């Protein structure tokens, strides 16, 4: 069996081959100019929260925004809470960031048992503002509470 091509069929085959070559070249150029990268992102509020050191004495008013009394690393506090009772400590919050605070206070018991903290919210602060009156944060202990560490997170 002999296969013969006419001039017209040869020309059509060349055009088809040329189109396939151009398509492949375009795909190679596209593949060389695009790169897919898998990422994860942590979205932050933009808030930069500083607080005053906790104190059992109510300061009544808070320092102004950007006052040097605000710190990123307040000193540890020793709470003395009788079982079945509570203790209140006061602090002020300054948002020195570019976004708003979440307005939440999270209490994490850590190694302590039978403890709880309140309040869990405060009025969120916009960028460049500080609380006017201090937050009165109370930690309560049940009758069977045990001492230990706990964490208070302001966000």
Model pLDDT for residues 65-98, shown as the tens digit of each residue: 999 999 888 888 888 888 888 999 999 999 998 8
pLDDT in the model for residue 8: 73
Mean pLDDT on 37-43: 52
Q: Which has the minimum average pLDDT: 15-19, 63-67, 119-123, 150-154?
A: 15-19
Least confident of 41-50, 119-128, 136-145: 41-50
pLDDT in the model for residue 62? 96
Pairing of strands 151-154, 135-146: unpaired
The per-residue pLDDT for range 19-29, each reduced to its tens digit, is: 776 776 665 55
Report pLDDT digits (tens) over 98-115.
888 888 988 888 888 888
Q: Are 155 and 101 a contacting pair, CB within 8 Å?
A: yes
DSSP 94-149: EE-SSS----BEEEE-TT-EEEEEE--B-----TTEE-SS-EEEEEEEEEEEE---
Query: Which region among 29-38, 65-74, 145-154 has the lowest average model confidence (pLDDT)?
Result: 29-38
25 or 154: which leads in pLDDT? 154
Q: pLDDT at position 121, please?
A: 92
Query: What is the structure's pLDDT at 29?
Result: 54
78 CB neighbour count, 10 Å cutoff:
4
pLDDT at 153 over 90: no
d(CA 118, CA 105): 8
pTM greater than the 0.75 cutoff: no
Q: What angle do CA 84, 85, 88 make, to 5 degrees?
A: 155
């Amino acid at each position: 069996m002999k296969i013969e091509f006419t001039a017209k069929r040869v020309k059509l085959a060349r055009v088809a081959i040329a189109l396939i070559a151009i398509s492949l070249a375009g795909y190679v150029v596209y593949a060389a100019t695009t790169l897919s990268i898998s990422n994860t992102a942590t979205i932050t509020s933009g808030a930069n929260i500083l607080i005053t050191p906790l104190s059992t004495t109510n300061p009544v008013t808070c320092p102004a925004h950007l006052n040097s009394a605000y710190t990123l690393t307040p000193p540890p506090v020793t709470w003395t809470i009788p079982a079945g009772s509570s203790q209140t400590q006061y602090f002020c919050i300054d948002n020195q960031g570019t976004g708003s605070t979440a307005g939440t206070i999270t209490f994490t018991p850590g190694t302590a048992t039978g403890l709880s903290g309140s309040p869990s919210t405060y009025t969120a602060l916009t960028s460049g503002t500080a609380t006017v009156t201090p937050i009165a944060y109370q930690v309560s202990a049940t009758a069977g509470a045990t001492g230990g560490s706990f964490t208070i997170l302001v966000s």
